[in-house]
Amino acid sequence: MKKFALMAAVAAASMMALPAVAHAEWYAGAAYTQYDADDAEVGGVTGRLGYRVNPNFAIEGEGTLGVDDDAGAELDSAYGAYAVGVLPVGTSGFEVLGRAGYQQIDIGGTSVDDGGFSYGAGVGWRLGGGFGLRADYTRTEADEDVDAISLGGTVNF
């Protein structure tokens, strides 16, 4: 928990210290995320809130509540904070994402109740009108490693 608090403080401080940039924008998203741990495969609804500092860098936080259980195991919660690198692909609205940060995961009925370094990659597609689609893969390295795949929508404001 101390690591998460430290990363959250660093993220908040860096957001406040950033100068106004013409491309800076807030974004929010909702997704379904499937978690795969050695003991179980569970799913949840994920909410994200991020700040895109410039076309190539963002900071985001996310939280997930479980909705899909697996034989006695259920996702109680997952939350994390990330630095996100963004590489736009042409002018079509496609972008490739890479992210690294910290995630805390609690899957009831299993040995997964820990947090650790988290990293992943994904793709996004800005559809226009501030809306988009996003898919990503994230791995959390803790006492028991957990892989997650997420698919959802985004809105920029």
d(CA 115, CA 71): 23
With beta carbons less than 8 A apart as the criterion, state whether 114 and 143 touch. yes
Domain boundaries, given as residue ranges, for the chain: 2-156
For residue range 37-86, what is the model confidence (pLDDT) as tens digits?
987 999 999 999 999 999 999 999 999 999 999 988 999 999 999 999 99
In this prediction, residue 153 has a pLDDT band, given cuts at 50, 70 and 90, of very high
Q: Is 12 a residue whose pLDDT tops 60?
A: no
Q: At residue 69, what is the residue type? A: D
Domain at 2-156: CATH code = 2.40.160.20
pLDDT at 21: 46
In this prediction, residue 2 has a pLDDT band, given cuts at 50, 70 and 90, of low
Residues 6+ apart with CB under 8 A from 105: 35, 37, 75, 77, 78, 112, 113, 114, 115, 140, 142, 146
Q: Is 110 a residue whose pLDDT tops 70?
A: yes
For residue 6, what are its two tokens?
A: 């430290």
d(CA 39, CA 108): 10
Q: What is the pTM of this model?
A: 0.84
**59 φ, ψ (degrees, to nearest 5):** -125, 135
Please list the helix, strand and coil fractions of the chain in percent, rounded to the nearest 5, in that order: 10, 70, 20
